[in-house]
Amino acid sequence: MGDQDMHANKGFTIIELVVVIVIIGILAATALPRFVDLTGDAQSASVQAIGGALGSGINLTHASWIAQGATATVNSATLEGGITVGVNDAGWPENNSAAGGDGTVTAAECMQIWSSVLSSAPSIATDTSGEYQATVASPTCTFSYTGSAGRSIAYNSSTGAVSITIP
């Protein structure tokens, strides 16, 4: 009789298995929403990285202007690779012309700044056909990430300030 009791207690009952499955289901249901939003986190991180790179490029251009004498007669800076960036009288990037800038920026000049200052820059357009959309309210260029609303990079060409907006 002792051997029969020993064989009957091997394994799990159906109720124990159902309880374990229910607990795993509850854990999965509470953890899933956290992992679903990883795309938004990745997009935000990408915009922050591009914004940081843009800010660094802006500051390197300004440093090149300072190294050339930091006067209004210095109209452009040459970056690595022979890239010419036109600067305004304060030394901040404004276009890609060796003649420099006039103190106001257009959407086309914002795109020139983006492409000149960033190495391997993401695609940009004045509409939503690029990865970023360039708009301007002079002196500020705004580069909005088209993959998700609310993510943008703003560059003020009169102060050199770069700010990043993410939700």
Confidence check: pLDDT of 48 > 90: yes
Confidence check: pLDDT of 76 > 80: yes
Looking at residues 122-129, what average pLDDT do you find? 95
Which amino acid appears at position 100 of this protein? G
Going by pLDDT thresholds of 50, 70 and 90, the confidence category of residue 10 is confident
Q: What's the pLDDT at 2?
A: 52
Q: In whole numbers, what is the pLDDT of the chain averaged over residues?
A: 90
Task: Give the residue, 16 or 145, on which the prediction is more confident.
Answer: 145
Distance separating alpha carbons of residues 109 and 100, to the nearest angstrom? 11
Confidence check: pLDDT of 32 > 90: no
Question: What per-residue string of b and e applies to 115-130 under the rule 16 or more CB within 10 Å gives b?
Answer: ebbbeebbebeeeeeb
> If phi over 0 gives left and psi between -120 and 50 gives alpha, with beta otherwise, what is residue 74?
beta
Q: What's the pLDDT at 6?
A: 54
Going by pLDDT thresholds of 50, 70 and 90, the confidence category of residue 39 is confident
Domain regions of the chain by residue span? 60-165
Confidence check: pLDDT of 9 > 70: no
**C-beta atoms surrounding 26 within 10 Å:** 10
pTM score = 0.79
